[in-house]
Chain A
Amino acid sequence: MILEADPASYALALLLLLVGVTIGGSKETGSLVREAPRRILLLPALVVAGTLLSVALVSPLLPSLSLREALAVGAGFGYYSLSSVIAGQMGGATLGVLALLTNLMRELLTLLLAPLLARYLGGVAPIASGGATSMDTALPIISHFSGQEYAVTAIFSGIVLTVLAPLLITLFLSAGS
């Protein structure tokens, strides 16, 4: 199929290969595979389930968006640069822009809401809200409002979601094609 496709498909395939090598070869992934205790995977697993369930629930409100497209956008988990590039290449520029805006907003809303979430729903809530951004951009604000004892949890959850984001987006957008 790729042989008939346009040059942009080669670019995306090359990008995914590079992203794959980066993720597979990173020290963090290595330690995840070695340790992989269930307690580390429980929080990101709930974030994946919660994100996809609620995105699926609201997707009927967006008639221009198929369920697969909505799930793919949600599966960026805030990782807006890579998710918008993959969504844009596989689903068209409009979907790419939607993925960019949605995941950018997830990061911004997390930064804005972290104090409230931590105070009323506990220290885990900002980590869940941050998704993949809990390991980098949202980490300072999480460790400030949730407490430093949550920083390691936030980093692990963010790493797992950063690995899952490109896999799930690619999966949702290649299903049925």
Chain B
Amino acid sequence: MLFLAVLGGGMLAGFLLRQKRALVEAAERLSSFAIYLLLFLLGLSVGGDEAIFSRLPALGLQALLLSAAAIAGSVALTALLNELPHLKKKGDAK
């Protein structure tokens, strides 16, 4: 829960300090850098761990199932917008 509090606290701080563009932009640049760095570290730990590396094909199949399910569920629920005319107006008339 601590991570969630840190993230929520950051959002609140960013919102309160949103007039200080230099600060927000610095946070944006730093977080992009941190994401790339951590992605690289993730790649390092995967490449250096034979157990994970050998599971990549299986993980790919799991990912395909999960992403297809996520898309199907999202599309199916939002198709309600087309079925219900008053919702369609709300969803589309922008």
Q: Are B52 and A94 in contact (CB under 8 A)?
A: yes
Q: Are A11 and B75 in contact (CB under 8 A)?
A: no
Return chain A residues, CB-CB under 8 Å to B66. Answer: 55, 58, 62, 70, 73-74, 98, 102
Expressed in whole angstroms, the Cα–Cα distance for A3 and B47 within the complex equals 29
Cβ contacts B4-21/A at 8 Å (1 or 0 each): 101111111111111010
The binding surface of chain A is classed by DSSP as helix
Whether A23 touches B14, Cβ cut-off 8 Å, given contacts A18-B34, A54-B69, A109-B68, is yes
Q: Nearest-CB distance from A157 to chain B (Å)?
A: 9
Expressed in whole angstroms, the Cα–Cα distance for A105 and B10 within the complex equals 29
Whether A98 touches B34, Cβ cut-off 8 Å, given contacts A109-B71, A170-B4, is no
Q: Are B69 and A57 in contact (CB under 8 A)?
A: yes
Q: Nearest-CB distance from B28 to chain A (Å)?
A: 4
Return chain A residues, CB-CB under 8 Å to B56. Answer: 97
Q: Nearest-CB distance from B8 to chain A (Å)?
A: 7
Expressed in whole angstroms, the Cα–Cα distance for A50 and B75 within the complex equals 7
Please pick, from B16, B28, B55, B72, the residue contacting A54 in the complex, using a CB distance under 8 A.
Answer: B72
Please pick, from A15, A42, A61, A174, the residue contacting B1 in the complex, using a CB distance under 8 A.
Answer: A174
Whether A51 touches B11, Cβ cut-off 8 Å, given contacts A26-B24, A85-B38, A90-B3, is no
Q: Are B62 and A131 in contact (CB under 8 A)?
A: no
Please pick, from B8, B45, B63, B94, the residue contacting A153 in the complex, using a CB distance under 8 A.
Answer: B94
A108 nearest CB neighbor, chain B only? B67
State the interface size on chain B (CB cutoff 8 A). Answer: 66
State the interface size on chain A (CB cutoff 8 A). Answer: 90
B38 nearest CB neighbor, chain A only? A85
Residues of B participating in the A interface, judged by any CB pair closer than 8 Å = 1-4, 6-18, 20, 23-24, 27-28, 30-31, 34-36, 38-39, 41-42, 45-46, 49, 52, 55-56, 59-60, 62-82, 87, 90-94
Residues of A participating in the B interface, judged by any CB pair closer than 8 Å = 1-2, 8, 11-27, 29-30, 33, 38-40, 42-43, 46-47, 49-55, 57-58, 61-62, 64-65, 70, 73-74, 77, 81-82, 84-85, 88-90, 93-94, 96-98, 100-106, 109-110, 113, 117, 121-125, 127-129, 131, 149-150, 152-153, 156, 163, 166-167, 170-171, 174
20 contacts between A and B (CB under 8 A): A16-B10, A18-B31, A19-B7, A20-B9, A42-B91, A57-B69, A85-B35, A96-B42, A97-B42, A97-B52, A97-B56, A98-B66, A102-B67, A102-B70, A121-B79, A125-B78, A131-B70, A152-B94, A170-B7, A174-B3
